[in-house]
Chain A
Amino acid sequence: MDNFSISVRSANGAGIIMPKGYVNNLGAEGLEHACEKFLDKGVRKIIINFADVQFINSIGASIFTGIVQKAVEYKGLLCFTNMKKVHSDVFEMLGITRHVKVFREEKEALDFLKDKE
Chain B
Amino acid sequence: MPLRTLPEKDFFGRKEELADLYRRSLEVEKGITQSVFLSGRRGVGKTELLKQLFNNLFWKQDKVAPFYYSINSAILSVSDFSRDYLMRYICQRLAFENKESSLIYLEGLSIDGLTTILEERKAFWALEILDVYIRCHEPIDSLRIALNAPHQSTLATGVSVVVMIDEFQRLNNFHISGNADPVLVALFEMPMSFRKTPHLITGNQAEIQEMPVIGGLTRMDVQPLQLEDAALMFSSLLDGHGIKISLEPHTLLNHLGGNPFYVKCVARAAGLSKKSEEKDCWRTYIKEISDGHICLYWLSVLKSFFPELGKRRRVLEVTNRIYHTGESLTQHRISKAFSLSERDTEIITGALYRAGFVSGEFGVFRAPEDRVLTDFIDCLYMKEVRGKSYRDIEMGLLEKAADTKHKGVSFEMTIPMVREAELVAAQCLEQIGKNLHLDEDVIGQLQMAVIEACINAMEHSKGEDKNIYLSFNFAEELVEISIESSGRDFVSQETGEPFVGGRGLKEDAGRGWGIKLMKNFADSVRFEKTERGTKVVLVKNLLRAARINREGTTSSG
Contacts and interface: CB of A to CB of B under 8 A. Distances in A.
Given A59-B511, A62-B510, A85 B451 contact: no
Interface string A51-73: 00001111111110110000000
A85 B444 contact: yes
Interface in B468-520: 506-507, 509-511, 513-514, 516-517, 520
Contacts of B445: 86, 89
A24 B420 CA distance: 9
Nearest to B447: A55
Given A93-B516, A93-B520, A58 B420 contact: no
A62 B455 CA distance: 15
A22 interface: yes
B451 A63 contact: no
A31 B507 CA distance: 16
A24 B341 CA distance: 67
A89 B514 CA distance: 13
Contacts of A56: 448
Contacts of A90: 448, 517
A93 B512 CA distance: 12
A94 interface: yes
Given A3-B420, A85-B441, A58 B511 contact: yes
A85 B510 CA distance: 20
A14 to B, nearest CB: 25
Contacts of A62: 506-507, 509-510, 513
Nearest to A25: B507
Given A3-B420, A22-B420, A85-B549, A58 B447 contact: no
Contacts of A85: 441, 444, 549, 552-553
Given A57-B452, A57-B455, A84 B444 contact: yes
Interface string A82-107: 00111001100110000000000000
B441 A86 contact: yes
Interface string B213-242: 000000000000000000000000000000
Interface of B is mostly: helix
B358 to A, nearest CB: 34
Contact of B513 (A25, A58, A89): A58
Interface in A1-29: 3, 22, 24-25
Nearest to B506: A62
B426 interface: yes
Interface string A27-51: 0000000000000000000000000
B423 interface: yes
A54 to B, nearest CB: 8
A93 B506 contact: no
A61 B451 contact: no
A22 B511 CA distance: 17
B510 A55 contact: no
Q: Which of A55, A61, A65 has the most CB of B within 10 A?
A: A55
B148 to A, nearest CB: 47
A36 to B, nearest CB: 16
B423 A55 contact: yes
B239 to A, nearest CB: 33
A61 B509 CA distance: 10
Nearest to B509: A62
B420 A93 contact: no
B423 A63 contact: no
Contacts of B451: 55, 57
Contacts of B552: 85
A92 B452 CA distance: 17
A86 B420 contact: no
A22 B423 contact: yes
Interface string B433-449: 00000000100110110
Nearest to A88: B556
B423 A86 contact: no
Contacts of A84: 444
B426 A55 contact: yes
A51 to B, nearest CB: 15
Nearest to B556: A85
A24 B422 CA distance: 11
Contacts of A63: 506, 510
Contacts of A61: 510, 513
Q: Which of A60, A61, A65, A86 has the most CB of B within 10 A?
A: A86
Interface in B289-323: none
A55 B549 CA distance: 19
Interface of A: 3, 22, 24-25, 55-63, 65-66, 84-86, 89-90, 93-94
Given A57-B422, A85-B552, 20 more contacts: A3-B420, A3-B423, A55-B447, A55-B448, A57-B455, A57-B510, A58-B510, A58-B511, A58-B514, A58-B516, A59-B455, A59-B507, A59-B511, A62-B510, A63-B506, A84-B444, A85-B441, A85-B444, A86-B447, A89-B445
18 contacts: A3-B423, A22-B420, A24-B420, A25-B507, A55-B423, A55-B426, A55-B448, A55-B451, A57-B452, A57-B514, A58-B513, A58-B516, A59-B507, A84-B444, A86-B444, A86-B521, A93-B513, A93-B516
